Chains A and B, each alone.
Chain A
Amino acid sequence: MAMPILSVRDVSRRFGGRQVVAGASFDLHPGRIACLLGPSGCGKSTLLRMIAGLESVDAGEIALQGRAVSTPAGLVPPEHRGVGLVFQDFALFPHLDVAANVGFGLAGMEPAARRERVMALLARFHVERLATAWPHMLSGGEQQRVAIARALAREPALLLLDEPFSGLDGHLRASVRQSLLADLKAAGTAVLIVTHDPEEAMMIADDLILMSSGRILQTGGAEDCYHHPVSIEAARLLGEVVILPARVEQQVAHTDFGPVPAPDMQDGPARLLLRPEDFRLDEKGTAATVVETAFGGAHHMVGLSVNGLGIAIRLTKAPPAAGTCAGFSFRPERARLFPG
Chain B
Amino acid sequence: MALAAAQLRSGWRLSVPMALAALAGLMAALPLAGVLIAALQGESAGIALRDILRYAATSLLLALAVGLATGFVGSIAAWLVVMHRFPGRDVFAWALALPLAVPAFALAYAYADLFDVAGGLRTWLRAGPGFDLPFGMRSLGGAVFVLSCAFYPYVYLAMRAAFLNQSVNVLEAARMLGCDGWQALRRVALPMARPALAAGVALALMETLADYGAVQFLSVQTLTTGVVRSWSVYGSTASAARFALPLMAFAALLLWIERRGRIGRTHEAGNARWRALEPRALSGAGAALAAGFCLLLLTAALLLPVGWLMWTALEARPDWPRLTGAGARSLTLGIVGAAVTVLLATTLALGTRRLPMAARLASLGYATPGAVMAIGLLVPAGLVWTLLPGSGRAVAIVLLIYAYAARLMAAALEPIDAGLTRVTPSMTEAARTLGRGEAGAALAVELPVARGAMLTAGLIVFIDILKELPATLILRPFDFDTLAVVANNYALDERLGQAGLPSLLIVALSLPAVVWLTRQIAASRPGR
Contact = CB atoms under 8 A, between A and B. Distances in A.
Contact of B435 (A54, A74, A105): A105
Contacts of B11: 56, 74-75
Nearest to A96: B448
Contacts of A71: 3, 8
A74 B9 contact: yes
Interface string A30-59: 000000000000000000000011101000
B353 interface: no
Given A104-B431, A151-B433, A73 B10 contact: yes
Nearest to B428: A91
A79 B9 contact: no
Contacts of B440: 79
Contacts of A91: 424, 426-427, 429-430
Contacts of B9: 74-77
Contact of A154 (B424, B427, B434): B434
Nearest to A56: B11
A107 B430 contact: no
Contacts of B4: 67-69, 76
A317 interface: no
Contacts of B433: 52-54, 78-79, 81, 83-85, 151
A89 interface: yes
B424 A105 contact: no
Contacts of A63: 1
B429 A85 contact: yes
Contacts of A74: 8-11
A83 B440 CA distance: 18
A129 interface: no
A68 B422 contact: no
B469 to A, nearest CB: 39
A304 B389 CA distance: 97
B433 to A, nearest CB: 4
B444 interface: yes
B429 A87 contact: yes
Contacts of B432: 53-54, 77-79
A43 B3 CA distance: 26
Chain B: number of interface residues, binned into ranges: 20 to 34
A92 B449 CA distance: 12
Contacts of A75: 8-11
B429 A78 contact: yes
Contacts of A66: 1-2
Interface in A87-107: 87-89, 91-95, 104-105, 107
A150 interface: yes
Interface string B93-122: 000000000000000000000000000000
Interface in B414-431: 422, 424, 426-427, 429-431
A107 B451 CA distance: 21
Contact of B7 (A76, A89, A94): A76
B382 interface: no
B449 to A, nearest CB: 5
Contacts of B449: 93-95
A153 B437 CA distance: 17
A237 to B, nearest CB: 26
A79 B436 contact: yes
A171 interface: no
A284 interface: no
A68 B6 CA distance: 11
A56 B436 CA distance: 18
Given A73-B8, A79-B437, A68 B1 contact: yes
B445 interface: yes
Nearest to B438: A77
A18 interface: no
Given A54-B429, A91-B430, A93-B445, A79 B435 contact: yes
A93 B446 CA distance: 9
Contacts of A85: 429-430, 433
Nearest to A77: B9
B8 A104 contact: no
Contacts of B10: 73-75
Contacts of B445: 93, 95
Given A79-B436, A104-B434, A89 B8 contact: no
Interface in B139-184: none
Contacts of A52: 429, 433
Nearest to A68: B3
Contacts of A95: 445, 448-449, 451
Nearest to A9: B1
Contacts of A53: 432-433
Contacts of B2: 66-68
B359 to A, nearest CB: 23
A314 B427 CA distance: 45
Nearest to A147: B430
Contacts of A77: 9, 432, 437
A68 B1 CA distance: 7
Contacts of B437: 77, 79
A53 B445 CA distance: 19
A88 B435 contact: no
Contacts of A84: 433
B243 to A, nearest CB: 46
B178 to A, nearest CB: 37
A89 B423 CA distance: 12
Nearest to A7: B1
A268 to B, nearest CB: 44
B380 to A, nearest CB: 38
A66 B10 CA distance: 20
Nearest to A67: B4
A30 to B, nearest CB: 18
Nearest to B10: A74
B518 to A, nearest CB: 24
Nearest to B449: A95
B244 to A, nearest CB: 42
B10 to A, nearest CB: 5
A272 to B, nearest CB: 43
Interface in B1-32: 1-4, 7-11
Contacts of B435: 79, 105, 107, 154
A82 to B, nearest CB: 9
Given A66-B1, A151-B433, A76 B448 contact: no
A303 B72 CA distance: 64
A230 B61 CA distance: 75
A94 B426 contact: no
A64 to B, nearest CB: 10
A79 B7 CA distance: 11
A63 B7 CA distance: 13
A53 B436 CA distance: 13
Interface string A104-134: 1101000000000000000000000000000
B357 to A, nearest CB: 20
Nearest to B6: A76
Contacts of B444: 104
20 contacts: A52-B433, A53-B432, A54-B433, A56-B11, A66-B1, A67-B4, A68-B3, A74-B11, A75-B9, A76-B9, A77-B9, A79-B433, A79-B434, A85-B429, A88-B426, A91-B427, A91-B429, A93-B427, A95-B449, A151-B433
Interface of A: 52-54, 56, 61, 63, 66-69, 71, 73-81, 83-85, 87-89, 91-95, 104-105, 107, 150-151, 153-154
Given A54-B429, A71-B3, A104-B434, 6 more contacts: A56-B11, A66-B1, A79-B435, A85-B430, A93-B449, A151-B433
In the A-B complex, list the 9 residue pairs whose CB atoms are closest, starting with the nearest. Answer: A74-B8, A105-B434, A56-B11, A91-B426, A87-B426, A78-B432, A91-B430, A85-B433, A91-B427
